Amino acid sequence: MIWIDSLIQGILLGGLYALFAAGLSLVFGIMRLVNLAHGDLIVFSAYITLAFVSLLGIHPFVAAFVAAPVMFGIGWLLQRLVLNRVLGPDILPPLLVTFGLSIVLQNALLETWSADSRRLSVGALETASLSLGPITVGILPVMTFFTAVLAIIILNHISFKTELGRAFRATSDDPVTAQLMGIRPNSIFATAMGLAMVIAVIAALYLGIRANFDPSIGPARLIYAFEAVIIGGLGSLWGTLLGGIIIGVAQTIGATINPEWQILAGHIAFLVVLSIKPRGLMPRAFD
Amino acid sequence: MYHVETKTRASKIAFYGGIIVLIIAVALPFFAGRATIQDIFFILTMLVLAQWWNLLAGYGGLVSVGQQAFVGMGAYAMFGMVILQGWDPVPSILIAGLAALILAIPTAFFAFRLQGAYFAIGTWVIAEVTRLSVAQWKQLGGGTGTSLPRSATKNMRGVEWVKDLLDVKTSAARDILAYWLALIMAVLTIGFIYWLLRSRRGLGLSALRDNFTTAKSLGVDAVAIKWFVFLISALGTGLAGGLIYMQKARISPDAAFSVLDWTAYVIFIVVIGGIGTIEGPIIGVIVFFLLQNMLADYGSWYLLILGVIGITIMLFAPKGLWGLFSQRTGIQIFPVQRRLVNKNQNSEDKNNG
Amino acid sequence: MSLLTTHNLTAYYGDFQALFGVDIELNSGETIAIIGANGAGKTTLMRSISGVLRNASNSVLYEGTAIGAKESDAVMRDGIAMIPEGRKLFPSLSVKENLLIGTFGRKVNGYWTLKAIYDLFPILQEKADAPATSLSGGQQQMVAIGRALISNPKVLLCDEISLGLAPVVIRDIYAAFPKIKASGASVIVVEQDIAQALKVADRVYCMMEGRVTLSGKPNDLTREDIQDAYFGRITK
């Protein structure tokens, strides 16, 4: 029974990882940019949400609503002013600039908020649970999972059923020709980054409620996000969810065997999938 | 008659200048204090790490954010040989290199399945896997780490000789020994890399970096070169890791596999100095050392400033400080560019840059 | 009525000069053809007009405004639509989506709607949901034309639309021109297929090595004149 329980927990954890990964996947899909600061931006969003909670005395969920447009703006500016300059065929500049950004963010957070662990409290919701026959599941993990599914549905809807989504895909295919169609690639990229940051806020909300956070946990989130994207296959958001689930399940099963093996188990699962299916389980992008 | 040349006037001057610097460096322990020796040891080992990362990323186009795996693996292998097999620390450094080389094989197998930035993160994941696995190695201290036993450090090969030569205490003698080893390692590393880039393989490497498809169509074996560069960088990095931790004499998984110390700082050094040149990391490590001295007291501001400088350089001066200098003046100290020279003419083509 | 003119248009690719002071004029309602061999500078001219290549501001005048330095998205929004060389459809988009993307930057009510494009090229309605790049060359060219028309442009730039297509297909494509002209668009056609270009144009320019070597009405030009201008036996 403990294994079924672990499996369920793992699947639900996968929802959180999918939320970490969705923004990364979106940005890579549209502008071929892998943002090494992605994890730190999620942590940053958590701190922003926390700031609104303390400043305005509001509930974290409401604070996230307020933080979302703020982070959209920050992402938009970041892309417009800094990251648009490094897009191009050379892989070094975006890698090194986003790596530097990661360091800057971590230390800026450290200076502003200290290394103390923080939490977003939602009171009773944190421990509320649901009985499904022989198993109990936490309400929060279930909410996280369904939020991830909803986010993916919405992102896919945007991508395939809206004019903006068409512009995203066209710009991703061929920015020069897209510009000939009246699209401004620089603005599209900035909008995409802004959107990715909105997802980051949602991910940060669930991250911050579920566990303690401090300025240094960004890189680990980046790695889980990245693993989920690679396992799932570049270009597929549902694949990213599947990838998140695989990592989540591997981690929880690993932890059940030996708590020290939790994180290692996730990485091993990633390496196994990578060696059998290098393009991921549901690859799709024209690379 | 035409022939191919790489020497420049600056390089000839620098060669003789370098000999002088080298003589001073070798003689340094005779007149410098222990703190200075330790500082220069740090500079030399960071320089070695930076040169290998630069070969990998700047010349090979393989941006790794996981070289700390090889530093850590090398360091732990060295500790393992000393603590578990009773070896002397100095020859154990060679095993450190070997261990890193062996680790590099499955690393490359997995990582080469990924491209570009995903390759980078892939190397990071493997470093994490290595760190987490090594932390399970209870005989070497598990998650908290361990120290080299006094018996091993006191009787280290060469320490007695240094003690007699310079009339210093054991611990100082150890530092001086480590310093000389670091000097040898730095000279050999730079020498090897310079030789490699001037060799045919080096030409292939440059060609691959400049235009992948064309190079391949001309017969440059891309896969073989990638493997070669990756393995040799791992070997060099592992050797450096072994030496660094021989000097520290105390190890823990978080320290030996630290992304900050062995990747972030290294990348900073190469980027500031100038990626894709041999001179770059040399400049970079000096700037890094000076910054560290100036700002060490400021905690996270130090790293923040480092990060901002790194970003700024990458945005506005992507060829780094040496790149700016070299572009202005056309000077190359380690010229690897081949020029076609007509023996019948006395003037050399000035267009190298 | 002069709609679009270039004045002493000069263009470089790095150190290489591709255009040496080109002057052309497009009048409202006209179709002009620009012919010339490979490398003559025709595509460079198109890229300069459409804003892909940016030049001196007043080297290109459109409706009295200097647009030479404008970016291509701004030029498109002003009503100059380009059918690029090689068609350049978006592989991630279906046929219908490729057509619709043409309205992203410019939404103008006019003759050309999705339905009107389907009337012009019925096969596109049949294949509306297929990935655009799965179509044949000729059909892709139809998509590219539709994508440009759907924004109801005032000026249509057609860069080598016959390239790589069989003669029968080329005829079908050019059969659409009367309707295009009737809708009020002024057209610049760049072509290596001289016969087709002369059939559809009101006036012709011939280019060679970055310069205009001949211009005039198709009826007024002899075959010899054109051959000379094309291959370079005379310069203007």
Q: How confident is the model at residue B340 (pLDDT cuts 50, 70, 90)?
A: low
CA A33 to chain centre: 14
Q: Rounded distance, CA B209 to CA B327, Å?
A: 20
Q: How far apart are the CA of A49 and the nearest CA of chain B, in angstroms?
A: 22
Provide the residue ranges of all domains of chain A, joining segments of one domain with +.
2-276
What pLDDT does B150 receive?
83
Whether A172 and chain C come into contact, CB under 8 Å, resolves to yes
Determine the pLDDT at residue B7. Answer: 66
The predicted structure's pLDDT at residue B6:
65
- Cβ–Cβ below 8 Å for C102 and A166: no
Compute the distance between CA of residue A255 and CA of residue A253 in angstroms, rounded to an integer: 5
Mean pLDDT across the stretch C131-157?
94
Considering only CB atoms, A166 lies closest to which of C73, C93, C106, namely: C93
Contact B116 A34 (CB under 8 A): yes
Q: Which CATH architecture has domain B2-342?
A: Orthogonal Bundle (1.10)
Q: Which of A169, A181, A184 shows the shortest C-beta gap to C102?
A: A181
Distance CA C74, CA B110 (A): 46
Using CB atoms, pick whichever of A166, A176, A286 lies closest to residue C101: A166
Number of H helices, E strands in chain C: 10, 10
The answer to whether A191 faces chain C, any CB pair under 8 Å, is: no
CA separation for the pair B257, B123 (Å, rounded): 12
Q: Would you call A183 and C104 a contact, using CB atoms and an 8 Å cutoff?
A: yes
- End-to-end Cα distance, chain A: 43
CB contacts, 8 Å: A168 with chain C: none
Written out in words, the top-level CATH class of the domain with range C2-231 is alpha beta
Q: Do A and B make contact, counting contact as 3+ CB pairs within 8 angstroms?
A: yes
Residues of A in contact with B121 (CB under 8 A): 34, 36, 222-223, 226
Residues of B near A (CB-CB distance < 8 A)? 57, 61, 63, 65, 109-110, 113-114, 116-118, 120-122, 124-126, 128-129, 132-133, 135-136, 259, 264, 267-268, 271, 275, 299-301, 303-304, 306-308, 310-311, 314-315, 318
Contact between B197 and B173 (Cβ < 8 Å): no
CB C173 within 8 A of CB C195: no
Residues contacting A232, CB < 8 A, separation 6+ = A21, A25, A238, A239, A240, A241, A242, A243, A244, A280, A281, A282
Residue B129 to chain A, least CA–CA distance (Å): 6
Mean pLDDT across A77-106: 91
Chains A, C: CB pairs < 8 Å: 65
**Amino acid letter, A231:** I
pTM for the model: 0.88
Contacting A residues, span 209-238, partner chain C, CB-CB under 8 Å: none
Q: Which helix (H) or strand (E) holds C186?
A: strand C186-191
Q: How confident is the model at residue B220 (pLDDT cuts 50, 70, 90)?
A: low
Contacts of C205 (CB under 8 A, 6+ apart): C24, C32, C33, C34, C35, C212, C214, C215
For an interface test with A, give the residue of C47, C50, C92 to mutate (most A CBs within 10 A).
C92
Task: Give the ipTM of the model, two decimals please.
Answer: 0.90
- Residue B339 — very low, low, confident or very high, per pLDDT cuts 50/70/90? low
Q: Which of C91, C92, C105 sits opposite A181 (nearest CB)?
A: C105
Q: What is the mean pLDDT of chain A?
A: 92
pLDDT in tens, A157-204: 999 999 999 999 999 999 999 999 999 999 999 999 999 999 999 999
Q: Of A96, A222, A223, which has the smallest distance from its Cβ to B310's Cβ?
A: A96
Q: Does residue C234 carry a pLDDT above 60?
A: no
Residue B351 has pLDDT above 50, yes or no: no
Contact A261, A268 (CB under 8 A): no
pLDDT of B345 above 60: no
Report chain C residues touching chain A, CB-CB < 8 A. 50, 52, 71-73, 76-77, 82, 84, 88, 90-93, 97, 100-102, 104-106, 147, 151
Q: Tell whether the model's pLDDT for residue B333 goes beyond 80.
A: no
* Average of per-residue pLDDT across C210-232: 83
Instruction: Tell me which chains share at least 3 CB pairs under 8 Å with chain B.
Output: A
